[in-house]
């Protein structure tokens, strides 16, 4: 008998959710993590000074709290110490002229806020929320369904029955619309555009990309409905609770366990081999939370998969790179302007829609943006346990950077040979710090310590953050929706029986919703007869190999 029913490679949120569902169903499960800590991109550490608890990578949990995994696992996790805190002030945008605009958790207050900037925008907001709500089953069905599967066909049939031929065509057009087109035809005020446009960056897109309009509407609805929840004490408390749940049901979670090969016999995955030669057998499934470049370039032997699939996997494209800046402050930041700024969880500093678009374009051309979109996260606005009393803590995210730097769009910084060495990292962070300081006069005088993580640092810290891409792969249309991770092998199945692919590189993409892990777990837990039918239909739908 094999060591386990299922072996899960990697310990990110999708891995842990998947393993939790399987363990609860009585499967013998092992989660194998190459790093010294479990959790993947969910990590909390005293990164700067003692007593300052920073979420080192990801930090905000609206997708988890609003997702199907939390709906089922939440009570069991709460019993294991997980507590979520939330806020009525989830996000806002601060413009260079000092004006700001905010999004709260109330439709009336949001309508009033937008109406303040342009007559008619309040009613446009109400119509947007009502429209997404009316189509919620389809909208969130798209994000929560294995699209390349019988379930995906079923969702399409449901949409056709509900909407009709023309309605379905209109819904499809809305799905691929850009954020720019949706924002400029829905709201009159550039302030409204600037409030919502930065959020497409958090989906790995830009405001002119296909499907960014759809994602903007979904995020706007989700933020109003769910706020900006975080676990008390840091994001790693979610990891801790999931690990306890897995272990309480007989599962194993192991660190320092670098899987170097998926073992395949007779076309079926039978386990994994770790660095050093140790093996772990899997009776029912091997589940890999990795990028396609790893799965097809490192973990599988060339003879185990069709050559065209392996080659396509190795060509999987990565998106823009990211930088993070973490500040420990001797006092809370004092914002100039609206007093709501200090109470808001996430503030975007940007000139607006065109500013986001310009910065994305510069990054995609290999340039450091002249005026980046600065994401200023304020965890203490939600959870005051993250730092000593009377102190301040900021989490800064920059999502518009190139992996190889060709130049500086502002013409100010020496980029050297274009690699993210310490000098370039700190020079660029100085630019961003100065941007924030123009709105927070006490920032620079209160810095106890600053830690900067460049794209190269992110890649070194987590193998799935290749090229410093926090979303584990470009979300251009040909690597999104039906075609994620890539058109030659869409969905979560692979050419190897019993081997499944999950994680941010797969549908429904990045974020802490644990969508892919949940989808694969639910598929594996179907009754055998149903599972055989699903696998046969999935094989029929799978693109024929050349």
Look at residues 197, 226, 255 and tell me which one is the last residue of a structural domain.
226
The reply to whether 446 and 390 lie within a common domain is yes
The reply to whether 171 and 204 lie within a common domain is yes
The reply to whether 254 and 160 lie within a common domain is no
The reply to whether 213 and 268 lie within a common domain is no
Total structural domains within the chain: 3
- The answer to whether residue 419 scores a pLDDT higher than 70 is yes
Q: What are the tens digits of pLDDT across the range 160-195? A: 999 999 999 999 999 999 999 999 999 999 999 999
Q: What is the pLDDT of residue 513?
A: 95
The reply to whether 130 and 179 lie within a common domain is yes
Q: How far apart are CA 448 and CA 438, in angstroms?
A: 19
The reply to whether 327 and 461 lie within a common domain is yes
Residue 79 covered by a domain: no
Q: What are the tens digits of pLDDT across the range 357-375? A: 999 999 999 999 999 999 9
What is the mean predicted confidence (pLDDT) over 198-207? Answer: 98
The reply to whether 256 and 382 lie within a common domain is no
- For the chain, give the percent of residues with pLDDT over 90: 96
pLDDT band, very low/low/confident/very high, at 545 (cuts 50, 70, 90): very low
The reply to whether 475 and 463 lie within a common domain is no
pTM of the model: 0.94
Q: Which of 532, 9, 544, 539 is nearest to 269 (CA)?
A: 9
- The answer to whether residue 104 scores a pLDDT higher than 60 is yes
164, burial (CB in 10 Å: exposed 0-12, middle 13-18, buried 19+): exposed
Q: Name the E strands within 443-518.
A: 447-453, 499-502
Say if strands 279-289 and 4-9 run parallel, antiparallel, or are unpaired.
parallel
- For the chain, give the percent of residues with pLDDT over 70: 97
Residue 404 belongs to domain spanning: 322-467
pLDDT band, very low/low/confident/very high, at 148 (cuts 50, 70, 90): confident
Q: What are the tens digits of pLDDT across the range 485-541? A: 999 999 999 999 999 999 999 999 999 999 999 999 999 999 875 555 555 555 556
Q: Which of 240, 308, 306 is nearest to 37 (CA)?
A: 240
Q: What is the pLDDT of residue 46?
A: 98
Q: What is the pLDDT of residue 527?
A: 86
What is the mean predicted confidence (pLDDT) over 220-225? Answer: 97
- The answer to whether residue 1 scores a pLDDT higher than 80 is no
Q: What is the pLDDT of residue 528?
A: 72
CA distances from 96 to 292, 371, 436 (A): 40, 10, 10
Q: What is the pLDDT of residue 2?
A: 80
Q: What are the tens digits of pLDDT across the range 387-399? A: 999 999 999 999 9
Say if strands 4-9 and 84-85 run parallel, antiparallel, or are unpaired.
unpaired
Look at residues 467, 491, 521 and tell me which one is the last residue of a structural domain.
467
What is the mean predicted confidence (pLDDT) over 260-278? Answer: 97
CATH assignment at residue 523 = 3.50.50.60
Look at residues 404, 438, 467 and tell me which one is the last residue of a structural domain.
467
Q: What is the mean pLDDT of the chain?
A: 96
């Amino acid at each position: 008998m094999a060591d386990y029913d299922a072996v899960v490679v990697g310990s990110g949120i999708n891995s842990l959710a998947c393993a939790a569902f399987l363990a609860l169903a009585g499967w013998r499960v092992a989660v194998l993590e190459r790093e010294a800590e479990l959790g993947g991109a969910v990590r909390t550490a005293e990164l700067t000074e003692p007593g300052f608890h920073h979420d080192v990578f990801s930090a905000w949990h609206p997708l988890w709290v609003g997702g199907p995994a939390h709906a089922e696992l939440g009570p069991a996790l709460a019993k294991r110490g997980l507590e979520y805190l939330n806020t009525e002030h989830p996000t806002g945008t601060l413009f260079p002229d000092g004006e700001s605009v905010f999004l709260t958790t109330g439709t009336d207050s949001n309508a009033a806020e937008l109406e303040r900037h342009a007559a008619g925008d309040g009613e446009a907001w109400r119509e947007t929320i009502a429209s997404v709500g009316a189509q919620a089953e389809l909208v969130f069905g798209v994000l929560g369904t294995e699209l390349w599967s019988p379930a995906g066909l079923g969702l399409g049939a449901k949409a056709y029955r509900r909407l009709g031929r023309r309605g379905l065509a209109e819904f499809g057009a809305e799905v691929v619309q850009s954020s720019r087109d949706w924002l400029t035809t829905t709201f009159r005020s550039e302030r409204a555009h600037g409030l919502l446009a930065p959020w497409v960056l958090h989906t790995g897109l830009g405001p002119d990309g296909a499907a960014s309009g759809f994602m903007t509407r979904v995020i706007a609805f989700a933020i109003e409905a769910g706020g900006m929840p975080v676990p008390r004490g840091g994001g790693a408390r979610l990891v801790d609770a999931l690990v306890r749940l897995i272990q309480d049901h007989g599962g194993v979670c192991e660190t320092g366990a670098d899987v170097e090969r998926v073992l395949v016999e007779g076309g079926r995955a039978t386990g994994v081999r770790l660095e050093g030669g140790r093996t772990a057998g899997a009776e029912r499934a091997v589940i890999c939370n990795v990028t396609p470049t790893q799965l097809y370039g490192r973990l599988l032997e060339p003879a185990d998969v069709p050559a065209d699939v392996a080659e396509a996997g190795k060509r999987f494209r990565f998106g823009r790179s990211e930088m993070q800046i973490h500040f420990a402050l001797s006092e809370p930041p004092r914002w100039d302007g609206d007093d709501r700024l200090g109470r808001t969880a996430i503030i975007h500093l940007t000139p607006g829609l065109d500013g986001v678009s310009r910065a994305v374009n510069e990054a995609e051309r290999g340039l450091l943006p002249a005026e980046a979109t600065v994401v200023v996260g304020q965890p203490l606005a939600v959870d005051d346990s993250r730092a000593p009393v009377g102190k301040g803590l900021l989490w800064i995210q920059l999502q518009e950077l190139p992996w190889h730097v060709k130049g500086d769009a502002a013409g100010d910084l020496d980029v050297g040979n274009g690699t993210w060495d310490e000098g370039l990292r700190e020079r660029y962070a100085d630019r961003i710090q100065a941007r924030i300081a123009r709105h927070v006069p006490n920032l620079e005088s209160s810095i106890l310590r600053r830690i900067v993580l460049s794209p190269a640092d992110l890649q070194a810290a987590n193998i799935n953050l290749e090229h410093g891409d926090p979303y584990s792969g470009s979300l251009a249309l040909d690597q999104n929706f039906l075609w994620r991770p890539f058109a030659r092998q869409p969905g979560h199945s692979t050419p190897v029986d019993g081997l499944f692919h999950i994680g941010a590189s797969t549908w429904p993409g990045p974020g802490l919703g644990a969508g892919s892990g949940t989808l694969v777990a639910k598929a594996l837990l179907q009754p055998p007869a149903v599972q055989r039918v699903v696998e046969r239909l999935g094989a029929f739908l799978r693109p024929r190999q050349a």
